[in-house]
Amino acid sequence: MIKFFLMVNKQGQTRLSRYYEHVEINKRTMLEAEIIKNCLSRSKDQCSFIEYKDFKLVYRQYAALFVVVGINETENEMAVYELIHNFVEVLDKYFSRVSELDVSFSVSEIHLS
């Protein structure tokens, strides 16, 4: 089961977040900071799966954006890894080349609708 979905830039700023379980706002901020620190500190040679507290993190980097998905222990990491790639491919088709600016624009557009 997917617990949350994050898009983060290289500076560690969250550009998009979606939680599928209730997490208080102040805890979200702390959780995101720890997760971002863990993902950004890893080299490109390291595995994109991290065991973190009571769940796993699956992440992929696309240029200046990191896509991070938190899942429970029973979820298939490779399936989520492919899900991330498919999501970014859809964004690429919609925006022609996805960038941090596109993500910010689409999030504000979604909130206005």
Instruction: Using pLDDT thresholds of 50, 70 and 90, give the confidence band for residue 113.
Output: very low
Query: Residue 98: helix, strand or coil by DSSP?
Result: coil
- Does the domain spanning 2-107 belong to CATH 3.30.360.10? no
Looking at this protein, which amino acid is placed at residue 110?
Answer: I
For the record, the structure tokens of 17 come out as 């977040």
User: How far is residue 5's CA from residue 55's CA, in Å, rounded to a whole number?
Assistant: 13
Instruction: Using pLDDT thresholds of 50, 70 and 90, give the confidence band for residue 9.
Output: confident
The per-residue pLDDT for 51 is 92
Domain boundaries, the chain: 2-107
Q: Mean pLDDT over residues 93-103, rounded?
A: 65
The per-residue pLDDT for 99 is 60
DSSP 27-77: HHHHHHHHHHHHHHTS-TTS-SEEEETTEEEEEEEETTEEEEEEE-TTS-H
* Number of neighbouring beta carbons within 10 Å of residue 94: 10
Q: List pLDDT tens digits, range 70-89.
A: 999 999 999 999 999 998 88
Q: List pLDDT tens digits, range 17-72.
A: 999 999 899 999 999 999 999 888 888 889 999 999 889 999 998 878 899 999 99
pTM for this prediction: 0.82
